[in-house]
Amino acid sequence: MDRDKITKRISADLKYLKEFTATPGNGCTRMPFTQETRYAAEYLKKIMEDAGLEVREDCVGNVFGTLPGEDRSLPCVMVGSHYDSVYNGGDYDGIAGVISAVELARLLQDEGKRLRSDLVVAAFMDEEGCRFGTGYFGSKCMLGQMTVEECKHYTDKDDISVYDAMTEYGLVPENLKDAAWPEGSIGHYIELHIEQGPVLDANQIELGLVNCIVGIQRYIVKVQGRSDHAGTTPMDMRQDAVNMAAKVIGKIGDMAKAEGSGTVATVGYMKVTPSAMNVVAESVDFSIDIRSTDNAIIDKIASQIWAELDRETQATGASWSADSKLTITPVDLSPAMLDIMEESCKEHGYSYLRMPSGAGHDALAIGQSLDTVMIFVPSKDGRSHCPVEYTPYEAFSKAIEVLYDLINRV
Ligand code: HGY
Ligand code: MN
Ligand code: MN
């Protein structure tokens, strides 16, 4: 297979797409239902059409391109990823998987080949959940697992709901159910993604064959204290929300470390109210993201955090609450597709490692109910979700070669 041709085509697309960011010069910021996703969607539709695919954008912003198979009544092979990003993220997370899927269609066209079933290239909206605190929005809509009520519930930092953002974007959230694919219409889901961690790069391994994906629980916690004068209020009379939240937050990392086996817990977002130097904080909102391949460990850490919040708030007569943003269990991926990919790696002489994914991906949502697999390419120094995220384009061409074998053999 001409990997230079592959590298040349995907690099041209990725260089073009990285311009669709709200923070030029400071990483990729392509939030769902924004001008940036609109530009990216139009570009994806164009290159899918150029590749001879039947193209459509669904009622929630997912973009699909279909290359008809020999028997269109068969469940399709879907290959894809997401085209939104985190704030100030990298140029490869999600979008490189979408472009790699388009490249698979181009390769079939170059060879005048057809799969037995349809090949569907999928570009999902709002996998990251950064703007609204959700996650896997587009893929969950495809699975029929999102409701209009939830769209009204989830809001961004400016208190704009998913519902209003979709409306503003020109969509009709009431049509949400139309995004669901018929039961049995998707036979396999395959996702190529950057590893976003250090394992492949540190060990100089070319490809990761992902055998499981961690479960995730995400919350926004509010510690509700009382605002007071910072100078005149004695220390034993305070309900200082920052002081209470900090004591709990300071223990979360050690809770995860104590469990080992790749368990992680992260506080990535905090908001202090009223946030003034001479005012004892009235309240603190902070995020929690807990992940493990063992769901019981995730539940255990959540319970430990709730117990610490009880302890700190009861001591001062304050209170706390937690708003659940995401709860999704760990998923084991397709042994059969892993075996096909392993065979292909051996044929091509690519080094590979069967490994878990600490990042979520649309495959985590889809793999709960469908035959799913992922393939990783190395992330330089393990860095991701930041502007320095980097993977050489030729690394993708090896993964695309393995996926080309997979879609022809599955
Ligand atoms: O957060 C994640 O695991 C993924 O990057 N959305
Ligand atoms: Mn991501
Ligand atoms: Mn991603």
**Closest Cα partner for 327 from 358, 295, 357?**
295
Q: pLDDT by residue (tens digit) across 155-184?
A: 998 999 999 999 999 999 999 999 999 999
**Residue 261 pLDDT:** 86
Q: Using most ligand atoms within 8 A of CB, pick from 28, 88, 127, 291 the residue to mutate for ligand 1.
A: 127
Q: Which atom of ligand 1 is nearest to the CA of 93?
A: 5
State mean pLDDT over 46-61. Answer: 98
Partner residues linked to 224 by β-bridges: 283, 319
State mean pLDDT over 319-342. Answer: 97
Output the CA 354–ligand 1 centroid distance in Å: 20
Cβ(210)–Cβ(357) below 8 Å: yes
State mean pLDDT over 43-69. Answer: 98
Please tell me the distance from the alpha carbon of residue 77 to that of residue 72, in angstroms, as a whole number. 11
Q: What is the pTM of this model?
A: 0.92
Please tell me the distance from the alpha carbon of residue 389 to that of residue 80, in angstroms, as a whole number. 20
Cβ(98)–Cβ(104) below 8 Å: no
Is residue 214 in contact with ligand 1, taking CB distance under 6 Å? no
State mean pLDDT over 354-371. Answer: 97
**Residue 377 pLDDT:** 98
**Residue 133 pLDDT:** 84
Is residue 360 in contact with ligand 1, taking CB distance under 6 Å? yes
pLDDT at 134 over 90: no
Output the CA 74–ligand 2 centroid distance in Å: 32
**Residue 364 pLDDT:** 98
**Residue 55 pLDDT:** 98
The rounded percent of the chain whose pLDDT value lies above 70 is 100
pLDDT at 350 over 90: yes
Q: Which atom of ligand 1 is nearest to the CA of 359?
A: 3
**Closest Cα partner for 83 from 101, 67, 68?**
101
pLDDT at 363 over 90: yes
Q: pLDDT by residue (tens digit) across 240-298?
A: 999 999 999 999 999 999 999 899 999 999 999 999 999 999 999 999 999 999 999 99
pLDDT at 196 over 90: yes
Is residue 312 in contact with ligand 1, taking CB distance under 6 Å? no
Angle separating helix axes 335-348 and 393-409, nearest 10 degrees: 120
**Residue 158 pLDDT:** 95
Output the CA 308–ligand 2 centroid distance in Å: 30
Output the CA 345–ligand 3 centroid distance in Å: 23
Q: Which atom of ligand 1 is nearest to the CA of 94?
A: 5
pLDDT at 81 over 90: yes
Sign of CA dihedral 3, 363, 200, 355: negative
Is residue 359 in contact with ligand 1, taking CB distance under 6 Å? yes
398, 357, 94, 9 alpha-carbon torsion, rounded to 10°? 0
State mean pLDDT over 209-231. Answer: 97
Kindly report the three-state secondary structure assignment for every residue of the chain. Answer: CCHHHHHHHHHHHHHHHCCCCCCCCCCECCCCCCHHHHHHHHHHHHHHHHCCCEEEECCCCCEEEEECCCCCCCCEEEEEEECCCCCCECCCCCHHHHHHHHHHHHHHHHCCCCCCCCEEEEEECCCCCCCCCCCCHHHHHHCCCCCHHHHHHCECCCCCEHHHHHHHCCCCHHHHHHHCCCCCCEEEEEEEEECCCCHHHHCCCCEEEEEEECEEEEEEEEEECCCEECCCCCHHHCCCHHHHHHHHHHHHHHHHHHHCCCCEEECCCEEEECCCCCEECCEEEEEEEEEECCHHHHHHHHHHHHHHHHHHHHCCCCEEEEEEEEEECCEECCHHHHHHHHHHHHHHCCCEEEEEECCCCHHHHHCCCCEEEEEEECCHHHCCCCCCCCCCHHHHHHHHHHHHHHHHHC
State mean pLDDT over 203-208. Answer: 98
Please state, rounded to an integer, the average pLDDT across all residues of the chain: 97
Q: Which atom of ligand 1 is nearest to the CA of 136?
A: 6
pLDDT at 217 over 90: yes
Q: How confident is the model at residue 331 (pLDDT cuts 50, 70, 90)?
A: very high
